[in-house]
Amino acid sequence: MNLDPPNDRAAWLDGPSAVCSSPPPGNTRPWRLILLGAPGVGKGTQADLLRQRLNACHLSTGDLFRAAATRNGCQLSPAMVIALGFMRRGALVPDSTVWEMVHERSSCLRCRGGFILDGFPRTLMQAESLQRLLHDEKLCLDAVVNYELPLDEIVQRLSGRRTCEKCKAVYHVSRQPSKTEGVCDRCDGHLCQRDDDRPEAIAVRMKTYEHSTEPLIHFYRNHGLLLPIAAQGSPEEICTRTLAALQKTPVPARPDR
């Protein structure tokens, strides 16, 4: 079953007091996944495809910060203003701010449809905090999908990426162009290049990924959760590959089943 129109993820993007427009229905197997991979590897696109196939909610911390960036400055907390400065430079937002945002949205982790975390965790500290929270909530991860792609292909993907200002749909100027140049197929919104997809920010993000996020691969491998997936091919091919690998993962023994 496809979730169409997509859930607006209000509780995630606007905060826990907001109500989602069409929360996922309860699933017999609610998938709880983390997507890992270098910036530009296609996590956001895969998260959107997996959301449709698995009926789970797409929880992206990048979308959360971008949603905050479009708000009126006086609605932002001082911590968020500082966080957005880091984001625009392509640097990681401090762990304490990210964790505060995720922790206050922990109801999204209990979503009946399950969740697909995209862009979080990004540091060991975030991964350990999440592990503790999931344990307290009696929730288990099903898998941590790690998308793998050579560096030169990553840079090519990032520099051609375009995002809809309105609905955040992601396109690529050559791999996945919109029907009309610069216009979103879904909502007619304007397609733009994210500040952090500009060349100077890409270099910072790749360095940051190597230092901060790669250690997570070892962390989740040690927990027996890592699922490596080759990120070559079309988005549909990669998604099919991911679903096939997920079907082979055992159902984790968890107290909520």
Contacts with ligand AMP by CB under 6 A lie at 39, 61-62, 65, 86-87, 90-93, 98, 119-122, 126, 196, 205
Q: Is 9 a catalytic residue?
A: no
Which residue out of 51, 66, 122, 162 is catalytically annotated? 122
Q: Which is nearer to ligand AMP, 65 or 147 (CB)?
A: 65
Which residue out of 32, 51, 157, 161 is catalytically annotated? 161
Q: Is 43 a catalytic residue?
A: yes
Q: How far apart are CA 39 and CA 206, in angstroms?
A: 7
Q: How far apart are CA 100 and CA 183, in angstroms?
A: 35
Q: Is 161 a catalytic residue?
A: yes
Q: Which is nearer to ligand AMP, 56 or 117 (CB)?
A: 117
| Residue 141, both tokens | 């991860």
Strand (E) or helix (H) holding 49: helix 43-54
Q: Which is nearer to ligand AMP, 87 or 184 (CB)?
A: 87
The DSSP line for 209-226 is IIIIIHHHHHHHHHTT-E
Task: Report the nearest approach of ligand AMP to the CB of residue 238 (Å).
Answer: 17
Task: Report the nearest approach of ligand AMP to the CB of residue 249 (Å).
Answer: 24
Cβ pair 7, 57 in contact under 8 A: yes
Q: Is 175 a catalytic residue?
A: no
Q: Is 122 a catalytic residue?
A: yes
Q: Which is nearer to ligand AMP, 207 or 257 (CB)?
A: 207
Task: Report the nearest approach of ligand AMP to the CB of residue 72 (Å).
Answer: 20
Task: Report the nearest approach of ligand AMP to the CB of residue 146 (Å).
Answer: 15
**Cis ω on the peptide bond leading into residue 121 (within 30° of 0)?**
yes
Chain centre distance of CA 196 = 15
Task: Report the nearest approach of ligand AMP to the CB of residue 251 (Å).
Answer: 27
Q: Which is nearer to ligand AMP, 89 or 249 (CB)?
A: 89
Contacts within 8 Å (CB) and 24+ apart, 127-135: 127/216, 127/219, 127/220, 129/95, 129/99, 129/102, 129/103, 130/102, 133/103, 133/106, 133/109, 134/32, 134/109
Specify the residue for token string 């995002």: 163
Q: Which is nearer to ligand AMP, 235 or 252 (CB)?
A: 235
| Phi, psi torsion values for 58, nearest 5 degrees | -90, 110
Cβ pair 170, 45 in contact under 8 A: yes
Residue nearest to ligand AMP (CB): 62
Which residue out of 43, 51, 66, 105 is catalytically annotated? 43
Task: Report the nearest approach of ligand AMP to the CB of residue 95 (Å).
Answer: 7
Which residues does the annotation mark as catalytic?
Answer: 43, 122, 161, 194, 205
